[in-house]
Structure 1
Amino acid sequence: MSNLSIQLLKALEPWRNARAWHVAFSGGLDSTVLLHLLAQLRQIHSLPPLSAIHVHHGLQAAADAWPAHCQALCDDLGVPLQVVRVHVQAGASLERAARDARYQAFVALTQAQEVLLTGQHRDDQAETFLFRLLRGAGVSGLAAMPHQRGLGEGDLCRPLLDVPRAHLEAYAQEHNLSWIEDPSNVRTDFSRNYLRHEIFPLLTRRWPQAAASMARSASHCAEAQGLLDELARQDLQEAGSVSEFDWLGLQSLELAPITSLSPARQRNALRHWLAALGLLPDTDHWAGWDALRDARADAQPVWKLAEGQLHRAGGRIWWMAGDWLRQPIAPMQWDNPLLPLALPGNGQLQLLGQAPGGSLQVRYRQGGEVMTVKNRGHRDLKRLLNEQGLPLFARGRLPLLYVNEQLLAVANLPGLDCSPCGRWQLQWLPTKSDQGLS
């Protein structure tokens, strides 16, 4: 076996027992060499079933001939090929939109215990590092492309990431491989192409090992980010106490353990926490965290992000997104209380036990409501909610059950959610706040 084959087999060792290997096959040099290497290796090694995926973006006329080229090579190698046509959304960055469309297709086609293999190499890693450096990225961004990560229900692996492009070219020439040269790759109005064709030749003439050095720096940053993530998990463990209002279904953290940290550790912990919800705020936007953290104790500060918000209430910070940012629709008649009632944009409501008689209606708080409480008589709802400590942001979404225009119960709040004699209980299952940042 060639050194390149040995290096590839070693990189793929953790996935030798996967259900399938899919090669992201553009038809270019990188993916052509990767597919050819794998097709040769499977002749002498027991490997998972191998297939190829070609994504047709439909962005240029030349691309219409590429599926046929890919099919011919796959036929020669005996590898099944799937061609997927995607629609690229118009936007400011055509490169990013095409990448997003491509990876959406890959996510849909990669099942559990399956691996998508891509052909990025060391020169690509160096370009990514420099591109992000010029955009002012932090340690996480400068870590560039990881060797592996999750992809939908499966995994993505870049087994050639430590291999220089020159080695791939030499392999292709040795085996008389032909590949597609994308005409758009010479357009220097694309940022990556500008770096590849204008900047890197200058750098490598002065520093021949520039690409290798940048890739090594990216590896150092990845290791540093791993330590930062480990520290963040430790700090978040201190703040991850259970709230009495966990039934709201919202992600939340106890504020005091976070604010006891240094400002840098606060941001590190919150970056790690918010990363699971989507894109992180940029450097200038972190002033919103300072304002939320330092607001008066009796204030209700909000940090507004792209598609979500952080609220501070009850000594905690709460992540809200999606339906939680929209006013639910009310009132609603509940004609059959034996069945759960779907609340538009607000989950569902159900009555446990023997339903009360009369005309049932569900409303939301408007202000000035009064209800009768066992052994306490008539009480203002506002005072009752204050006694319960329910966060203000949740009060306008809390379902109120009326019978013949009388406020009878408040969902989920002990002592207010059931009949005086215990014949029934009002239970609310809120909508999930699962929409992340954009």
Structure 2
Amino acid sequence: MGQSPIDLPSRLLLNLEPWRHVAHWRIALSGGLDSTVLLHLLATLANTESLPALSAIHIHHGLQAAADAWPQHCQDVCDALGVQLQVERVTVKGGASLERAARDARYAAFSSLTQSNDVLLTGQHRDDQAETLLFRLLRGAGVRGLGAMPQQRPVGQGTLVRPLLDVSRAELEGYAQAHQLRWIEDPSNQDRQFSRNYLRQQVMPLLTERWPQAQASMARTAAHLREAQGLLDELAQIDLAQAATPHEFAWMGVPSLELTPLTALSDARQRNALSHWLEPLTRLPDADHWSGWTTLCNAGADASPIWHLADGELHRSAGRVWWLSDSWLGTPVIGADWQTPTSALRLPDNGRVMLHGQAPSGPLRIAYRQGGEVMRMAERGSRDLKRLLNERAVPAFVRGRLPLLFRGEELLAVANLPGLAGQMDEGWTLHWQPTDEDQGLS
């Protein structure tokens, strides 16, 4: 037996208890059944309960003519309940999946609007959870994907919370009818070319006809899988702690892991640990693309293999794997005269350099390694720069970016490398900050 609609307010408050202390609850109001009921519930509870400040956000995608009337509908609903409404218009980029593009645009807007002491509340319910599980199952998702929608996750500077995941659509409809609520029926929800609509209209009714508790059971399975993913995350943290060893190139600010502790793990644990590490950095590879990790690990000892991923590259060098993205993937401009060495010199796409101490005399310039450079060293004579970099196990990807200080054709210093960064007896060293962030040089 399902719980009756009269239980909804108390269940909602119970689900939102952990977030009663925040400053602001923002309700994502599409104008459909789910978000309309959520808004009404909270506005009504606010009359008798001490709740955070309430407001609503409506995202206008502009994808169909009917949608032009929805902001006014949402405004009328909010006015009747005494809730402030913010309407945000977004541009949906074209692509293979209009559903995904609209979702991405919507959540980008939510992220920009959600502040540090805000909770964004959305109206997804138990039927949506079951539908999400089935949809991802058919796409071959792993444990993380099959965990479906979490009750909470970060968004912007705040938190997104789905407080209705244990409520069925039938219960929401019952509440809406009992309170004579009006809501929008999106015409696109009838279009079966969209996969979720097809599942909702064609597949789910057949499943629930044969197994009436199918949606509740599937939502429960999603909860089990989220718990399993939590255990996998804990295992990944244990494994990554073994590989997150200190190293002398931490000043680069490049995420890296020691390779040997990773390759000592089973293949499955390697993938689990790497997935956990890569998730904040890039869209994760599908199952077939993981062969790139195997290739990277198995490359010869003298090689510097690269695994190309959606948002950057994983490089193997100096016994570690390094995550490179953004400016690290560009090629810096070859060089520049340093007219005022008493001030920091900005390097296009390569941060900045500065001299600590009394600058050496003569016309100075910054350049990058081209090959064949030689450096004169006290007590060692002239040495090939390539050999000096090899001796210090400098990662391959950074060798062409290390700022070199020249006076005429004489190589005076290699930034940041102990013993090569300057003339200590003359009291100066060359320091490089690889990014343009305003932070001190180490």
Q: TM-score range by the shorter chain?
A: over 0.9
Structure 2 letter corresponding to 1:381:
L
For this pair of structures, how many residues does the alignment match?
433
Match of 2:128 among 124, 133, 137: 124
Q: Give the Cα–Cα distance (whole angstroms) in 2 for the partners of residues 71 and 247 of structure 1.
A: 52
User: Is residue 2:325 matched to residue 1:321?
Assistant: yes
Q: Give, in whole Å, the separation in 1 of the partners of 2:173 and 2:192.
A: 22
Partner SS, residue 293 of structure 1: helix
Equivalent of 2:163 in 159, 164, 183: 159
Structure number with greater CO (CA < 8 Å, separation at least 6) is: 1
Q: Is the 8 A contact 2:282 2:312 kept in 1?
A: no
Sequence identity, in percent? 64
Q: CA deviation at 1:355?
A: 1.1
Once the 2 structures are TM-superposed, how far is the Cα of residue 106 of structure 1 from its aligned partner? Answer: 0.6
After TM superposition, the score normalised by the length of structure 2 is 0.96
Could you give the per-residue CA deviations for residues 180-229 of structure 1, whole angstroms, max 9, x where no partner exists? 00010000000100100111111111111111111111011000000000
1:432 shift after superposition: 8.1
Q: Which residue among 185, 205, 218 is the counterpart of 1:181? A: 185
Tell me if structure 2 keeps the 8 A contact 1:54–1:81.
yes
TM-score, normalised by the number of residues in structure 1: 0.97
Aligned partners of 1:395 and 1:227: how far apart in 2? 40
What is the CA deviation profile of residues 357-387 of structure 1, one whole-angstrom value per residue up to 9, with x for unaligned ones?
Answer: 2211111000000111122121111111111
Aligned pair 1:380/2:378, yes or no?
Answer: no
Amino acid across the alignment from 2:169: R
Which residue does 2:288 correspond to in 1? 284
SS at match of 1:12: helix
Q: Which runs of 5+ in 1 are unaligned?
A: 434-438
Task: Name 2:119's counterpart in structure 1.
Answer: 115
- Please give the alpha-carbon distance, in whole angstroms, between the structure 1 residues aligned to 2:349 and 2:283: 24
Partner of 1:52: 56
Match of 1:145 in 2: 149
Q: Deviations over 1:309-360 (max 9, x none)?
A: 1111121111111111111112111111121111111111111111112211
Deviations 1:39-69 (A, max 9, x none): 0111111000000000000111111100111
Once residues 119 and 307 of structure 1 are traced to their aligned partners in structure 2, the CA distance between those partners, rounded to angstroms, is 31
Choose 350-359 or 117-126, whichever is displaced more.
350-359
1:379-422: CA deviations, max 9, x gaps? 11111111111011110010001112321110001111112524
1:137-286 correspondence runs (5 A): 137-286=141-290
Equivalent residue, structure 1, for 2:342: 338
RMSD: 1.2
- Asked if 1:84 corresponds to 2:95, the answer is no
What CA distance in whole angstroms lies between the structure 1 residues aligned with 2:243 and 2:429?
A: 32
CA shift, 1:278, in A, is: 2.2
| Cross-structure match for 1:436 | none
**Is the 2:369–2:402 Cα contact (8 Å) retained in structure 1?**
yes
Aligned residue among 405, 420, 431 for 2:409: 405
The residue aligned with 1:358 is 362
Distance (whole Å) between structure 2 residues aligned to residue 339 and residue 220 of structure 1: 58
Counterpart code for 1:188:
R
- What SS does the corresponding residue of 1:119 show, helix, strand or coil? coil
1:9 correspondence with 2:51: no
Q: What CA distance in whole angstroms lies between the structure 2 residues aligned with 1:394 and 1:189?
A: 49
Q: Equivalents in 1 of 2:424, 2:386: separation in Å?
A: 20
8 A contact 2:256–2:322 mirrored in 1? yes
State the shift of 1:299 in Å. Answer: 2.0
CA distance in 1, matches of 2:424, 2:406: 15
Q: Give the Cα–Cα distance (whole angstroms) in 2 for the partners of residues 215 and 164 of structure 1.
A: 10
> Do the aligned partners of 1:411 and 1:417 also contact (CA within 8 Å) in 2?
yes
- What is the CA–CA distance in structure 1 between the aligned matches of 2:136 and 2:105, rounded to whole Å? 21
Does the Cα contact within 8 Å between 1:374 and 1:420 map onto a contact in 2? no
Residues 248-280 of structure 1: CA deviation (Å, up to 9, x unaligned): 211111111111111111110001000111210
Cα distance, 1:431 vs. partner? Answer: 2.5
| 1:312 alignment partner, one of 310, 316, 319 | 316
